[in-house]
């Protein structure tokens, strides 16, 4: 006999909650890259039964955040730079297409999404955010907002998924001090070029920005992984 709908809904709600908590713990390095664990471990951690735990883990496995090992539990995906390099490449391809489409608009400055980005990034230094973790998320959303504004929902969906997977390595940068002013200047310059309909320069700046991010991640990862173990 199948479960009543109310019980299924409750189970799904718990699974969604566990899924969110697991993702948060992965991004905050409570669960570290390469760490092994069992469903029982998580059941005790989150005080939930193994069924919603397993459902949440299967979702995370499909998204590439965890691996399952036959008869030996689960593992948080290790930091494999080829994998993240490919994600950065994918994100850049999608962003370049979005930038071209935005610059082809007659009045890109009138798009509500770009107006909101101006309020967030083209601001005086006294108004800069100083919380680096928040700034990492805001930076991620800058890129996603540009792609969403270009109007292709499928491109935006793929870009969002790639950006979320990259977040774990970019979060490493938020665990140390970095140049906040430089982050604002980079994003502000890209945005200003789009508003000026200068696609070539916007793409050049965006590519340089991504290359800097990749270089930073490579430089700090060994040090940060050593520190969080």
66-86 per-position pLDDT tens digit: 999 887 899 998 878 788 888
Asked if residue 219 lies in contact with residue 169, where contact means CB atoms within 8 angstroms, the answer is no
Tell which wins on pLDDT, 174 or 77.
77
Query: Alpha-carbon distance 89 to 165, whole Å?
Result: 13
| Confidence band for 11, pLDDT divided at 50, 70 and 90 | low
Average pLDDT over residues 161-172: 83
Asked if residue 26 lies in contact with residue 171, where contact means CB atoms within 8 angstroms, the answer is no
DSSP letters for 124-163? -GGG----HHHHHHHHHHHHHHHHHHTT-HHHHHHHHHHH
What value does the mean pLDDT of the chain take?
86
pLDDT above 50 (res 5): no
For 186-221, write each residue's pLDDT tens digit: 999 999 999 999 999 999 999 988 888 777 667 655
Average pLDDT over residues 2-10: 41
Asked if residue 108 lies in contact with residue 197, where contact means CB atoms within 8 angstroms, the answer is yes
Quote the pLDDT of residue 112. Answer: 96
Query: Alpha-carbon distance 186 to 96, whole Å?
Result: 16
Tell which wins on pLDDT, 94 or 215.
94
Strand order in the sheet with 66-69: 36-37, 73-76, 66-69
Question: How many Cβ atoms sit within 10 Å of the Cβ of residue 81?
Answer: 13
- Reported as type and span, the H/E element at residue 36 is strand 36-37
pLDDT above 50 (res 2): no
At CA 149, angle to CA 148 and CA 152, rounded to 5?
55
37 forms beta bridges with 74
Query: Alpha-carbon distance 196 to 192, whole Å?
Result: 6
For 97-143, write each residue's pLDDT tens digit: 999 999 999 999 999 999 999 999 999 999 999 888 788 889 989 99
Average pLDDT over residues 153-158: 96
Quote the pLDDT of residue 100. Answer: 96
CA dihedral angle for residue 86, residue 159, residue 114, residue 189, rounded to 10 degrees = 0
């Amino acid at each position: 006999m199948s479960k009543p709908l109310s019980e299924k809904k409750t189970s799904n709600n718990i699974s969604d909650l566990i899924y969110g908590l697991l993702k948060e713990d992965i991004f905050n390095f409570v669960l570290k890259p390469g760490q092994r664990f069992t469903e029982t471990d998580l059941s005790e951690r989150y005080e939930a039964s193994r069924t919603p735990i397993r459902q949440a883990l299967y979702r995370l496995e499909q998204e590439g955040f965890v691996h399952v090992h036959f008869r030996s539990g689960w593992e948080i995906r290790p930091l494999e730079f080829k994998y993240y390099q490919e994600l950065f490449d994918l994100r850049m391809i999608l962003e370049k297409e979005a930038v071209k489409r935005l610059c082809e608009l007659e009045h890109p400055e009138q798009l509500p999404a770009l107006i909101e980005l101006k309020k967030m990034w083209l601001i005086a230094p006294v108004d800069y955010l100083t919380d680096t973790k928040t700034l990492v998320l805001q930076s991620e959303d800058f890129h996603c907002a540009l792609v969403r504004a270009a109007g292709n929902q499928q491109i935006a969906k793929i870009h969002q998924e790639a950006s979320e997977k990259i977040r774990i390595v970019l979060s490493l940068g938020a665990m140390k001090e970095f140049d906040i002013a430089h982050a604002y200047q980079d994003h502000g310059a890209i945005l200003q070029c789009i508003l000026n309909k200068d696609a070539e320069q916007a793409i050049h700046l965006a590519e340089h920005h991504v290359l800097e991010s990749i270089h930073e991640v490579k430089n700090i990862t060994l040090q940060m992984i050593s520190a969080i173990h």
